[in-house]
Amino acid sequence: MTVTAPYRSALPAGRDGITRTLRAEWTKFRTVRGWMITTVAAALVTMLLGLLFAVGSRTSCSVGPVEVACPAVPLGPGGEAVQDRFFFANQTLTGDGSITARVTSMTGVITYPPPDHDKLVSGLVPWAKAGIMIKASAAPGSSYAAVTLTGRHGVRMQDDFTHDTAGRPGGVTAAAPRWLRLTRSGGTLTGYESPDGTRWTEIGTARPAALPATVRAGLFVTSPSDMTVKANTMGGSIVQARFTQASAVFDRVEVRGRASGAWRGDDVGDDGGKTDWERYHRPSGLLQAGGTLTVTGSGDIAPSRDGVRVESTLTGVVLGLILVIVVAVMFVTAEYRRGLIRTTLLAEPRRGRVLAAKAAVAGAVAFVTGLTAGAVAVPLSVAVLRAGGNHVLPVSPLTEVRVVAGVAALFAATAVLAVALGALYRRSVAAVTTGIVLLVVPYVIATASVLPDAASEWLTRLSPAAGFAILQSIPEYAHVTGHYTPSDGYYPLAPWAGMAVLCLYAALALGLAVTRLRRRDA
């Protein structure tokens, strides 16, 4: 009887680990020429659409027929673009001190509001402001803190454009005047209000960024435009703004500390333009009669939203995402179509690991693609836009980095979602369509159609399109009148929260795909 030893391969055993699976998947991806080309195309279209938009946008300003440089937009202490226009009756104040005033009346006019746009209506817009202020100088954009009565939001304390604290609600009448007080102690300003000038309530404190030793302290009045929004039949909306003006009567005004004593009037941020109302009926200014000061003004003290937002150079991202979806889906479905999946699962029987490796490779490739596209498109397009005379709303470098990284994150999360969909459906058409319907369609419908605002907001809250919030560079301010909808670039969720919604969808889909892959026959 002969005994034959079983055959043993002389080859060393193959090493086993996630890196092997990753390498195998990366090789599969890398060696299909069409996928690499499409991936590069995804980056290119993102950049090119941004550049196309930048090159096609030009802004010029003219006085009569003569073209002139556009006036510089003031920047607030935080570097953000601001509107800083109001009438300021002020004294200089050196060192610590305080200003106290009683407001006995606040009235205003709104020119030609709807429905017929044919009347001058007396009334106040919700964020008309009349109050007391301590400001670094009369230059627009300089640091300040103010305690102010508003048209419909009661007493507020605001500082440096972006901060707003609510005080007691309600308006003012001659029978129920409102007392306001602002005290300076070093770099800290404290706001108070009182119904009678004896019982004072603290509203809050503020530490404006840059207050010199000598500041302006005084009374101010301003009134932002009255705004209505009309849906545009071609998608988006048309915002209509109308001139308004407010007047307030102050008495018992008292400036304590080393003050100059005499009142001077500054039309802060005045650009020389005057409406017919200001020319023929009531100019902005200060009227003094005994101890009573009447201040009239128009404008706003708030972060500005007029200008091109940084992320508007990223419209091409949607097109890039469609390409990412197609490639990532085919990365999985092509294996089913060609039967390669059986080989893949023989080589690596841990099916969850196979799908995880696929998601990781597709996600990483998409991340790098998105990062490249964003890092080129954003700075380049912004530079081209600025060269074309456009006012691009300035953002902090950190925000710009977040927007660029946001493109990468959007691409990566979308690729993972698409890989999962491909594994769930095994058919390219159904998977690609589901990907597009989940991500691109809600975005398009919410931002570029005539969908009502409420529906748009729910779409960008609940659907994976919430992830686009990560590209929003200008935050929404509750104390600034504006049309805050996804079509204006304002998402209902915070940037990272929106991104988290998209990631949640991707994670859920991937989890589901792993369970299905484990249970089903390949």
Partner 1 sequence: MRRELHAEWTKLRTVAAPGWLLLAVVALTAAASAGVAATVTCPPAGCAYDVPKLGLVGVQLGQAVVAILAVLVIGGEYGTGMIRTTLTAMPRRAAVLAAKAAVLTGATLAAGTAAVLASMLAGRLILPGNGFVPAPGQALLSLGDGPTLRAAAGSVLYLALVALLGLGVATAVRESAVAIGVVLGLLYLFPIVIGMFADEGWRHLLYAIGPSTAGLTVQVTTGLRELPIGPWTGLGVLAAWAAGALLCGGLMLRARDA
Interaction between residue 429 and partner 1 (CB under 8 A): yes
Q: How far is the CB of 399 from partner 1 (least distance, A)?
A: 21
Token pair for residue 116? 């017929």
Q: How far is the CB of 295 from partner 1 (least distance, A)?
A: 34
Interaction between residue 209 and partner 1 (CB under 8 A): no
Interaction between residue 337 and partner 1 (CB under 8 A): yes
Which position among 128, 365, 413, 445 is part of the footprint of partner 1 (CB under 8 A)?
Answer: 445
CA nearest neighbour of 412 among 341, 330, 467: 467
Q: How far is the CB of 332 from partner 1 (least distance, A)?
A: 11
Interaction between residue 415 and partner 1 (CB under 8 A): no
Alpha-carbon 397 to chain mean position: 14
Interaction between residue 433 and partner 1 (CB under 8 A): yes
| Residue 165: Cβ within 10 Å count | 16
Q: How far is the CB of 450 from partner 1 (least distance, A)?
A: 7
Interaction between residue 24 and partner 1 (CB under 8 A): no
CA 471, CA 499: separation in Å to the nearest integer? Answer: 10
Interaction between residue 221 and partner 1 (CB under 8 A): no
Token pair for residue 305? 């939203």
Q: Which is nearer to partner 1, 89 or 327 (CB)?
A: 327
Q: How far is the CB of 112 from partner 1 (least distance, A)?
A: 18
- Binding mask 47-86 toward partner 1 (x if CB under 8 A, else -) reads --x--xx--xx-----------------------------
Peptide bond into 115 cis (omega under 30): yes
Which position among 444, 497, 504, 507 is part of the footprint of partner 1 (CB under 8 A)?
Answer: 444
Interaction between residue 455 and partner 1 (CB under 8 A): yes
Which position among 182, 357, 408, 440 is part of the footprint of partner 1 (CB under 8 A)?
Answer: 440
Q: Which is nearer to partner 1, 296 or 447 (CB)?
A: 447
Interaction between residue 234 and partner 1 (CB under 8 A): yes
Sign of CA dihedral 265, 271, 276, 279: positive
337: left (phi over 0), alpha (psi -120 to 50) or beta: alpha
DSSP string, 354-418: HHHHHHHHHHHHHHHHHHHHHHHHHHHHHHHHHHTT--BPP--HHHHHHHHHHHHHHHHHHHHHH
Q: Which is nearer to partner 1, 294 or 333 (CB)?
A: 333
Q: Virtual CA dihedral for 155, 159, 162, 168, nearest 10 degrees?
A: -20
Please report, for residues 13, 20, 244, 344, 354, the alpha-carbon distance to residue 25 in angstroms, rounded to integers and kept in the order given.
20, 9, 64, 9, 8
Q: Which is nearer to partner 1, 21 or 460 (CB)?
A: 460
Interaction between residue 36 and partner 1 (CB under 8 A): no
Token pair for residue 212? 């010199």
Q: How far is the CB of 231 from partner 1 (least distance, A)?
A: 6
Q: Which is nearer to partner 1, 51 or 360 (CB)?
A: 51
Interaction between residue 428 and partner 1 (CB under 8 A): yes
CA 398, CA 139: separation in Å to the nearest integer? Answer: 27
Choose the binding region for partner 1 from 82-90, 143-151, 256-264, 438-446 (rule: CB under 8 A): 438-446
Q: Which is nearer to partner 1, 44 or 430 (CB)?
A: 430
3-state secondary structure of 276: helix
Rg, C-alpha atoms of the chain:
30
Q: Which is nearer to partner 1, 49 or 155 (CB)?
A: 49
Q: How far is the CB of 424 from partner 1 (least distance, A)?
A: 15
Interaction between residue 437 and partner 1 (CB under 8 A): yes
Sign of CA dihedral 331, 334, 340, 342: positive
Interaction between residue 439 and partner 1 (CB under 8 A): no
3-state secondary structure of 475: coil
Contact 109, 90 (CB under 8 A): no
- 127: Cβ–Cβ under 8 A, 6 or more apart, which residues? 150, 151, 152, 153, 224, 300, 302, 479, 480, 481
Token pair for residue 26? 């990366």
Which position among 487, 503, 513, 514 is part of the footprint of partner 1 (CB under 8 A)?
Answer: 487
Choose the binding region for partner 1 from 185-193, 215-223, 400-408, 439-447 (rule: CB under 8 A): 439-447
Token pair for residue 453? 């605002």
Interaction between residue 430 and partner 1 (CB under 8 A): yes
Which position among 2, 4, 9, 233 is part of the footprint of partner 1 (CB under 8 A)?
Answer: 233
3-state secondary structure 220-266: EEECCCEEEEEECCCCCEEEEEECEEEEEEEEEEEEEEEECCCCEEE
**Which residue is listed with tokens 């390409």?**
323
- Binding mask 291-330 toward partner 1 (x if CB under 8 A, else -) reads ---------------------x--x--xx--xx-xx--xx
Q: How far is the CB of 480 from partner 1 (least distance, A)?
A: 22
Interaction between residue 339 and partner 1 (CB under 8 A): no
Q: How many residues bind partner 1 (CB under 8 A)?
A: 47
Please give the residue ranges that form the binding site for partner 1 (CB under 8 A).
Answer: 49, 52-53, 56-57, 230-231, 233-236, 312, 315, 318-319, 322-323, 325-326, 329-330, 333, 337, 427-433, 436-437, 440-441, 443-445, 447-452, 454-455, 458, 487
